Amino acid sequence: MEGSPAKQSARSYPHLGFNDFVEQNFTSAYRFAFCLSLAHDRAARIVEAAFHEAKALQETEATVDKIWVLERLHQKWRACHPARFDPEVEQNSDRPSIRVGDAAGMECDAVLKILHSMNPAYRLVLSLFYFEQLGANAIGRILELPPATVVSRLAEAKVLLRQLLEQTRHTPSAASA
Amino acid sequence: MDQGEIKRLLQAYRPGTEDADDPAFQEALASLESDPALAAWFRTEQAFDAAMIAIFRDIPVRDAVKDEILQQARDRK
């Protein structure tokens, strides 16, 4: 599995006007920033900074797209959070996993609370996989990881997520309707 | 490629992305055709993914931040 350079497209900036570029990518950027920072104020700050950088590139030959924005968000967050980033062994294969039907009935807040409790290494791959519906190669570019590492991390993270969802479902205060 | 590796790849597979052109994913996907139990497991995985995607669509986004970005860009002109 090899990473490949970001594809340029008509959805990139400056092919798009800046306003259209922001309109098309703001939601993705904000959700990812929120997943990184776990706080709306911090998310807002790094999103603003990333888009201002994109705007500044208008004067250069550079082309930026959604992947570029997500990469910059991750880099900005990492610059302030240089702590160890390897996932710890948190899995226990004996723990029950939630069934699909039960997972579908859970509320966003409850699932987000679980996501935020997870190691960042897992949280980030899950957020890009589920929020942005990106594949392993694109996730690897954003997080600066080999695609094979993304695959392993995603597989572990999804198993853990299902176990934590099932655990939460049996906690009356955290479970959804 | 053993069953564990195939499942890891399929858990990370995102249809409609460049991963579809990746030989490792293609090999894992080809295994589905000859293994009904694996295909059933994969369908469940995809259903779980779809459920999570639907839930995460509800994450609140502060549109005021977008308005601020656009306003600042206009002010800098």
| The predicted structure's pLDDT at residue A86 | 56
Contact A47 B44 (CB under 8 A): no
Instruction: Name A29's Cβ contacts closer than 8 Å, sequence gap at least 6.
Output: A47, A50, A51, A66, A69, A70, A73
Question: What pTM does this model have?
Answer: 0.80
| B18–A contact, CB cutoff 8 A | yes
**Range list of H helices, chain A:** 18-37, 40-56, 66-80, 100-104, 108-117, 120-130, 136-143, 147-169
Using an 8 Å CB-CB cutoff, list chain B residues near A161: 52
Q: Is the pLDDT of residue A3 over 50?
A: no
| B37–A contact, CB cutoff 8 A | no
**What is the complex's ipTM, to 2 decimals?**
0.86
Q: Provide the domain limits for residue B63.
A: 3-76
B contact test, residue of A151, A154, A166, A176 with most B CBs within 10 A: A151
Q: Which residues of A119-151 are buried (b: 16+ CB within 10 A; e: fewer)?
A: bbbbbbbbbbbbbbbbbbbbbbbbbebebbbbb
Instruction: Quote the CA–CA distance of A176 and A102 in Å, as a whole number.
Output: 10
Neighbours of A36 (CB within 10 A): 23
| The predicted structure's pLDDT at residue A176 | 45
**Residue owning tokens 């798009």:** A16
* Count of domains observed in chain B: 1
Give the nearest partner residue to A155 out of B8, B44, B48, using CB atoms. Answer: B8
Cβ(B25)–Cβ(A74) below 8 Å: no
Chain A: nearest CA to B32, how far in angstroms?
18
Neighbours of A59 (CB within 10 A): 8
- Grade residue A65 by pLDDT with cuts at 50, 70 and 90: confident
A contact test, residue of B69, B72, B74 with most A CBs within 10 A: B69
Instruction: Quote the CA–CA distance of A54 and A72 in Å, as a whole number.
Output: 10
| The predicted structure's pLDDT at residue A4 | 38
What would the pLDDT profile of A79-88 be if each residue is shown by its tens digit?
887 655 555 5
Contact B18 A4 (CB under 8 A): yes
What would the pLDDT profile of B33-76 be if each residue is shown by its tens digit?
999 999 999 999 999 999 999 988 878 889 999 999 999 888 87
Residue A13 pairs in a beta bridge with A64
* Mean pLDDT of all residues in A75-98: 72
How close are the terminal C-alpha atoms of chain B, in Å? 56
Residue A64 pairs in a beta bridge with A13
Cβ(A168)–Cβ(A114) below 8 Å: yes
What would the pLDDT profile of A15-53 be if each residue is shown by its tens digit?
678 888 899 999 999 999 988 888 889 999 999 999 999
Which CATH number does the domain A100-169 belong to among 3.40.50.2300, 3.90.230.10, 1.10.10.10, 3.10.20.90?
A: 1.10.10.10
B contact test, residue of A16, A23, A28, A30 with most B CBs within 10 A: A30
